[in-house]
Amino acid sequence: MQIQVNTDSNIVGRDALQTHVGDVVKHALHRVHTHITRVEVYLSDENGNKSGQNDKRCVMEARLEGKKPVAVTHHAANLHQAIDGAAYKLIRLLDSNLGRAHAQKTRAKVPAGVDADAELVAAD
C-alpha cells in the first residue's frame, strides 16, 4: 500500500507530518491493507494564516483493487484531529464497502431454492 501526502502552501512541518500521516493510515487500515493499492491524503488550512474554528481539512482517498476510489473528508481545529477523523471515516467506509462485496460473493454461492434471508430456527 502506497501512501501519498499532499499539502497546501499553508501547512508547516511537512516531513514530520508525512511520517505522522503514514503511521495513522497504516494503523487504521491494517486489516484491509491487502485490498488497497494507494491512499492519497490531502491536507489543507482553509483559512490560510487567519484563525478559524475547524479550518483544517483532511481528505483521504483510497484506491481499491478492481474498484473505484473512495474518499472521505474531515474538518477539525488542528491537523492531527483532522487526520485522525478522516482515518476513522475511511476505515468505516472501507469496512462497509468490503463487507458488502464479501456478502454479495457469499450470497451468490447460496444454492438455488435456498432463501438466504430466511430466519434460522433451531431444531429441537
Coil/strand/helix, residue 40? strand
How many folded domains does the chain comprise?
1
Q: Give the pLDDT of residue 27.
A: 94
Measured CA to CA, the distance from residue 41 to residue 60 in angstroms comes to 5
* 118 within domain boundaries: no
Q: Give the pLDDT of residue 101.
A: 53
| Under 8 Å between Cβ of 54 and 44 | no
Domain that holds residue 84: 2-108
Q: Give the pLDDT of residue 117.
A: 53
First to last CA, the chain: 50
What nine digits make up the cell of 16?
514530520
* 78 within domain boundaries: yes
* 32 within domain boundaries: yes
Q: Where does 34-104 show beta strands of DSSP type E?
A: 36-45, 56-64, 70-76
* 116 within domain boundaries: no
CATH of residue 101: 3.30.160.100
Instruction: Read off the pTM.
Output: 0.75
Which value, to the nearest 10 degrees, does the dihedral of the CA atoms of residues 12, 18, 19, 20 take?
A: 70
* 89 within domain boundaries: yes
* 121 within domain boundaries: no
Q: Burial letters for 73-87: b for 16+ Cβ neighbours within 10 Å, e otherwise?
A: ebbbeebeebbbbbb
* 120 within domain boundaries: no
pLDDT digits (tens, 9 = 90+) for 85-118: 999 999 999 988 877 654 444 444 444 444 445 4
pLDDT digits (tens, 9 = 90+) for 29-80: 998 888 899 999 999 988 766 666 778 999 999 998 888 999 999 999 889 9
